[in-house]
């Protein structure tokens, strides 16, 4: 979890959808440079990382073997600095990186196609992409995760895959401490109040939502997907990165990331025309 520099209030309580949406856009725009300065080297050096544990796509191949990616039309939502998209472009994929924060996209990797877009209202035609993915983007910061899944289902071709990583639900039971002192349960796993920070003016400045494992799976199924793969990455032995509540000490014992891969049922009728991936006017 990450928040404002000097919040006036920190806690777990419900906020409106409108406040959550505004906070997500504003926080990531405001803190883009700071975030990329702190974590940019780790993300860029590894190319495509699924989470702080250091599992890379070249290792996991959740989108397929690297040689199979060439020519595929792939959408990244919540792309941040578009490091994952840049790695896919290097494999020959046709990638569109989207994020709700303009400054985050502008400060990140210079991939050919970058679009500022809300994950709940993707500006693309139906069945435009072969695959859609996000690495810790969008889903933790939106009130309506099921709405994101529905949008992804809409823009994904039949037979295509939707792959996403989020904070592991078990992490929410423990304090945001990456050391051995963070191994004592302090919250109920079933408490779904989001983590919230308010700024000096009392406005909601940062929101991160908690969902149980069942919530994530049921949201995916309700959107029309078939569950394909669930991954709980182990901490990579070479990784000494400490990232908020993630680190090698606690990471050796407690899962910090959940990855889900799901499939839109059916077979594609024909390859999508390149123009269908263009943003709607």
Query: How confident is the model over 151-173, as pLDDT tens digits?
Result: 999 999 999 999 999 999 999 99
**Residue pLDDT, tens place only, 131-143:** 999 999 999 999 9
**Residue pLDDT, tens place only, 173-205:** 999 999 999 999 999 999 999 999 999 889 999
**215-238 as b/e, with b when 16 or more CB fall inside 10 Å?**
ebbebbeebbbeeeeebebebbee
Residue 1: pLDDT band with limits 50, 70, 90? very low
**Residue pLDDT, tens place only, 211-267:** 999 999 999 999 999 999 999 999 999 999 999 999 999 999 999 999 999 999 998
Say if residue 89's pLDDT is above 90. yes
Q: What is the mean pLDDT of residues 80-98?
A: 96
Q: For the chain, what percentages of helix, strand and coil (3-state, to nearest 5) are there?
A: 30, 20, 45
Residue 91: pLDDT band with limits 50, 70, 90? very high
**pTM of this structure:** 0.91
Residue 276: pLDDT band with limits 50, 70, 90? very low
Q: What angle do CA 117, 41, 119 make, to 5 degrees?
A: 15
Question: Phi first, then psi: what are they for 137, rounded to 5°?
Answer: -105, 150
When the pLDDT of each residue in the chain is averaged and rounded to a whole number, the result is 91
User: Distance between CA atoms of 57 and 178, rounded to whole angstroms?
Assistant: 24
Say if residue 273's pLDDT is above 80. no
The SS3 call for residue 196 is strand
**Residue pLDDT, tens place only, 94-109:** 999 999 999 999 888 8
30 to 1, 26, 76, 102, 198: CA distances (angstroms): 16, 6, 21, 10, 15
User: Distance between CA atoms of 18 and 224, rounded to whole angstroms?
Assistant: 26
Q: What is the mean pLDDT of residues 103-127?
A: 93
Say if residue 124's pLDDT is above 80. yes
pLDDT given at position 280 = 54
Q: What Rg, from alpha-carbon coordinates, does the chain have?
A: 18
User: Distance between CA atoms of 4 and 238, rounded to whole angstroms?
Assistant: 30
Residue 281: pLDDT band with limits 50, 70, 90? very low
pLDDT given at position 33 = 83
User: Which of 83-87, 179-183, 268-272 is least confident?
Assistant: 268-272
Question: Phi first, then psi: what are they for 119, rounded to 5°?
Answer: -65, -15
- Measured torsion, CA atoms of residues 36, 47, 76, 13, in degrees rounded to the nearest 10: -50
Say if residue 8's pLDDT is above 90. no
Residue 41: pLDDT band with limits 50, 70, 90? confident
227: which residues sit within 8 A by CB, 6+ positions away? 217, 220, 221, 260, 262
């Amino acid at each position: 979890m990450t928040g404002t520099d000097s919040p006036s209030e920190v806690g777990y309580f419900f906020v409106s959808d409108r406040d959550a949406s505004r906070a997500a856009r504003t926080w990531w725009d405001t803190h883009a440079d700071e975030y990329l300065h702190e974590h940019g080297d780790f993300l860029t050096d590894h190319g495509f990382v699924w989470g702080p544990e250091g599992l890379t796509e070249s290792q996991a191949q959740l989108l397929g073997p690297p040689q199979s990616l060439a020519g595929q039309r792939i959408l990244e939502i919540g792309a941040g600095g578009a490091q994952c998209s840049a790695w896919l472009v290097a494999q020959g994929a046709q990638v569109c990186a989207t994020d709700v924060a303009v400054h985050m996209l502008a400060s990140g990797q210079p991939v050919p196609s970058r679009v500022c877009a809300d994950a709940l209202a993707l500006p693309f035609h139906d069945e435009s992409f072969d695959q859609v993915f996000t690495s810790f983007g969008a889903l933790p910061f939106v009130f309506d995760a099921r709405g994101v899944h529905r949008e992804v289902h809409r823009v994904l071709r039949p037979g295509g895959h939707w792959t996403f990583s989020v904070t592991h639900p078990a992490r929410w039971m423990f304090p945001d401490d990456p050391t051995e002192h963070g191994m004592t349960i302090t919250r109920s796993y079933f408490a779904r109040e989001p983590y919230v920070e308010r700024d000096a003016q009392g406005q909601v400045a940062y929101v991160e939502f908690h969902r149980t494992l069942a919530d994530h799976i049921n949201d995916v199924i309700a959107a029309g997907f078939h569950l394909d793969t669930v991954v709980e990455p182990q901490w990579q032995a070479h990784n000494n990165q400490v990232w908020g509540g993630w680190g090698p000490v606690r990471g050796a014992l407690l899962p910090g990331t959940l990855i889900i891969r799901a499939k839109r049922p059916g077979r594609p009728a024909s390859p999508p025309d390149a123009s269908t991936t263009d943003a709607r006017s």
